[in-house]
Amino acid sequence: MHYFTDVVKRYADFNGRARRQEYWMYTLFYAALLIIVMILDFTLGTYPLFYFIVALGLFLPTLGVGVRRLHDQGKSGWWILIGAIPLIGWIWAIVLMATEGTPGPNQYGPSPKSIHA
């Protein structure tokens, strides 16, 4: 759970690097939260009200952790837009997020593995 809360605390922080574990654990909690809110919305008959509120509220933290994940590989945060390419963009984005970061420091800061190890 701390992976989710740590990302939310760094709300709109696009600087630094994020480990694969941080990104994927955040994504897991985010997806679970959206599913729970969607079920609640359908139960209350308010879909997509609460779903939209939660998704909008977590948009910047999600974008921030994605950009920091790309920074871990030495790539610019603008690579996050690769997911907008029709058909193959989302596959390419998943591959980028699953690729191991560069060992040691890079232009975006020290390796998060060495900090948390």
| pTM score | 0.93
Q: Percentage of the chain surpassing pLDDT 90? A: 93
pLDDT of residue 114: 81
Residue 116, phi then psi, degrees to nearest 5: -90, -10
**Mean pLDDT in the chain?**
95
20-48 mean pLDDT: 97
pLDDT of residue 115: 72
CA atoms within 13 A on the CB side of 87: 0
Q: Give me the residue spans of the domains in the chain.
A: 2-116
- Whether the predicted pLDDT of 6 surpasses 70: yes
